[in-house]
A and B are shown apart, each in its own frame.
Chain A
Amino acid sequence: MEFIKTRFNYLFNSTKGLILVAIAMIAVVTAIWGMLSGPMAEMGVREVVIKLFGMDIVQAEREGRIIILYHSIAMAVVAIETYMITGLLKMKPFFKTSINVIITVGYLTTMIFGMSFAYFGHNWAFHGLYISGLSLIFFAGVLLCIALWPWNKEYYITDKDYSRTKSGLDLERTAFFATAVTTVISALFGAIPGAYFGNGFEVFLAENVIRLPEKTTMQYSIIGHLHIMLALIAIMITLIIGRWLNFKGILHKIAMPLMILGTIVLNLGVWGVVTPLEPIAHTIIYVGATPSMFAALLLLIWSWNKLIQDGTAHIQKPNFIQKLGALVRDPLKFGPTWQMLFMNFTTSGIGIFMAIRLDEIFRVWPAREERIELTGHWHALSAIIATIILMYYGDMLGLKGKVRQIYGWSIIFLSDLALGAVTVFEMKRLFISEAEQQPLVNLLMYMIDFGLGMLLVLLAIVMVWRLIDLFKPKGRWTEEMTHELSEEAAK
């Protein structure tokens, strides 16, 4: 009994244990449900998985199933980010415990009962529990906003290295707060139309209505919701990585006000799609996205500069190669910001290119081609966020030496290979005709499958290692029980 109690205590009462459970849950869902589509379906694996697990797949309910699947994974990611925030930022222990407990129950309920409802027959009690789980996560979000309240004098700072107002208001905390508050509000933009459409079982995927000129307010709300939630998850992970790396100095002072401004304006733009501001909503979104992305760029410049300075401190006049070596010496510290840069090729760049050349190029193609670009675009961003989380998690585990190098570089190489291929796949019509595309599609699919498949294998190895560790009386888990993320953030 004591054996179970101590492990349970680690898994559900320590930040690192909670993160481990959430990553494991995502890994299991991704591994199983990833076999239901794409090349796995082509190879017949889909049918085997459906039979093996006794899934109940009704053709007319595909869109509903996918929405529940996306939410199940996304809620676990939101939980991970929340654990990181409660572990990194100062807050009252009551809030920390409450938030972690509520969001854990919330995402597990969402995932377990949501997926059971969607794929294993329609037990309506399960659907109710799925909605309850989402509601708990929303409530945890509200609590997080209260816990992060930056105008509490307790959290004022005096250190001039960090972005703050004259009175000492911590602008980094304010950026976390602004992101959390806007996330909670933006969740409503999905919840309200979700209830509306879900109630009549008239679910739809945004990519399937995007080209129709007349959309209802509820449809606009759904489209805005999915865009802003992913953007906010990306903004939050950028703030988390900044805190983990101990982002400070002049660039921090410039970045944090930009992050606050960008987040608020970006949200106002997205919320504007359901108001008479809709015709100029995209312009507001661009205005908001620019400072946010510029703030992320400042984090990148600062962190790369720090890695180079730390890595060449022992060399009097380091040359370019030595600087480059110092930059890439630690893939887990270099990787997150590299992935943010890489995101510009796979996500931001593609998005901006699509927006600029929409009528000349993309609307000349069939809607289905546009759907490929849209879905590829946000799958790539989601995957990049996941890799950044995995790199931070690798550092949390205290990976060292060769294992750290292999783990870090594998994540970077495999994900970039896959996402680079996804990007080429999305844009293939620019340079190859439908009739002649098959060999290129095959190669790209091999690259995507190899990259993502091996990434999942790597994740499985880590999970098996952690599982074995849990059976050891004095395993790594015993150390992780007491260490908090804020103590481990770079000094």
Chain B
Amino acid sequence: MKHILNRTLTSADKRGNNFKNSTSIRVIPRPIFPVLLVALLLASCASVDLNAPMPIFDTGIDPNAWAQIPAGEFYLGQHEYIETTGAYEIMITDVTTKQYADFLNAALADGYVKVAERGEYIAGYYPGDPFHGIEHEIEIKAGDWVFILLNDPSQRVKFNGSSFTVQPGYENHPMTMVSWFGAWGYCEYYDYRLPSEKEWEKAARGPSTGSGSTRPFPWGDEIKRENANFYSSRDPFEDMKTFGSRTTPVGFYNGKTYDGYATLDSKSPYGLYDMAGNVWQWIGDVQPQEGFSDRFMRGGSKDTYDMDLRVWVRNSAPPMYYSPGVGFRCVR
């Protein structure tokens, strides 16, 4: 690189001098800036340590707990339409990596999932979506679909050839790098299901009665860094100079102080944690509009600005999508 840089500079000097002598024009852009920029860009593409040391905290929140959501009205969306749901129960946290690893061990033994492509991914059966052949629609046929990839460096669930374990330190973090099929499969296995958009939003926002029923965030009207894990929220798991944002343990923002880092109690009116930030959560609705093969995601994530943490904000992706910033929880 140094050799190339020298050669470029020399030739640029020569061109500049000739130019100066012949036309008395002095301003000519030299290629040093583009070269430097390309060098910087290449340097910034160097891999980051995805297994950098991480603090371990017990939040005291039980990921096996469920919240009761009574039947009734709530405000849906930014424009506050009154909607109704029946009664249901929803997990108070996202499904953790430990819970998912336990599921995979049980499901593998039952033949509910299988290890495919020489251990590259875990797949399971999905009965398929209706297909209308509408522009941009993806055909989701009945068959085996990827639940999780095993060979991705961001995958925290590990497979040793016979059983699944969790990378130490991530046990109480939300399960990520899981496709919508993987989330659907988990819920289905335990006779649960993924929440509909309405169910998810009601659980995040609370009932239409009482003060603050139109709240934009699960805990109220405003957001502070200590309310949730979002982009550059400066939580103890984040380092924006290297790996950026990482997930926080489920229920982390419960008012406790962790090694001097004080969080605000940010549960929803029904007592759910992480309904804003940390990871986007897969929604169960299939084909909410004819030809719409994407699945919605709600809640914002560690990688999004606070505006995406508002309870009505939607994201969507094809059901085979997976990411370090996408997880799920179930209802029953």
- Which residues of A approach B to under 8 Å, CB–CB? 37, 41-42, 59-60, 62-63, 200-202, 208, 211-214, 311, 315, 321-322, 324-326, 328-329, 331, 358-359, 363-368, 405, 409, 413, 417, 424, 431-444, 447
A-B contact pairs, 24 of them (CB 8 A): A41-B306, A59-B221, A60-B216, A60-B310, A208-B314, A212-B292, A213-B291, A325-B23, A328-B28, A329-B25, A329-B27, A363-B318, A366-B280, A368-B304, A424-B41, A434-B324, A435-B153, A436-B50, A438-B240, A439-B44, A439-B241, A440-B45, A443-B44, A444-B44
Chain A proximity of B179: nearest CB distance (Å)? 12
Which of these, B15, B47, B78, B241, contacts A321 with CB under 8 Å? B15
Complex Cα distance, B307 from A437, in Å, reads 21
- 8 A Cβ contacts from B204-251 to A: 214, 216-217, 221-223, 231-232, 240-244
Complex Cα distance, B33 from A322, in Å, reads 22
Chain A proximity of B269: nearest CB distance (Å)? 17
Q: Who on chain B is nearest to A369 by CB?
A: B317
With known contacts A213-B136, A440-B44, A368–B240 Cβ distance under 8 A: no
Query: Is the Cβ of A211 less than 8 Å from the Cβ of B44?
Result: no
Chain B proximity of A194: nearest CB distance (Å)? 16
Chain B proximity of A403: nearest CB distance (Å)? 12
With known contacts A211-B294, A213-B136, A359-B136, A440–B41 Cβ distance under 8 A: yes
Which residues in B have their C-beta under 8 angstroms from that of A434? Answer: 154, 303, 323-325
Q: Who on chain B is nearest to A438 by CB?
A: B244
Complex Cα distance, B231 from A211, in Å, reads 24
Complex Cα distance, B240 from A442, in Å, reads 8
B25, B223, B303: most-surrounded residue (chain A CB, <10 A): B25
Query: Is the Cβ of A213 less than 8 Å from the Cβ of B317?
Result: no
Which of these, B135, B232, B241, B314, contacts A213 with CB under 8 Å? B135
B160 sits at the interface (CB 8 A): no
Query: Is the Cβ of A366 less than 8 Å from the Cβ of B45?
Result: no
Query: Is the Cβ of B23 less than 8 Å from the Cβ of A326?
Result: yes
Chain A proximity of B296: nearest CB distance (Å)? 9
Which residues in B have their C-beta under 8 angstroms from that of A417? Answer: 37
Query: Is the Cβ of A438 less than 8 Å from the Cβ of B321?
Result: no
B4 sits at the interface (CB 8 A): no
Q: Who on chain B is nearest to A312 by CB?
A: B23
Query: Is the Cβ of A367 less than 8 Å from the Cβ of B315?
Result: yes
Complex Cα distance, B289 from A214, in Å, reads 7
Which residues in A have their C-beta under 8 angstroms from that of B314? Answer: 208, 367
Chain A proximity of B80: nearest CB distance (Å)? 8
Which residues in B have their C-beta under 8 angstroms from that of A59? Answer: 216-217, 221-223, 307, 310
Q: Which 3 A-B pairs have the closest CB atoms?
A: A438-B244, A59-B216, A366-B317
Which of these, B18, B78, B153, B315, contacts A368 with CB under 8 Å? B315
With known contacts A214-B289, A436-B48, A439-B48, A405–B244 Cβ distance under 8 A: no
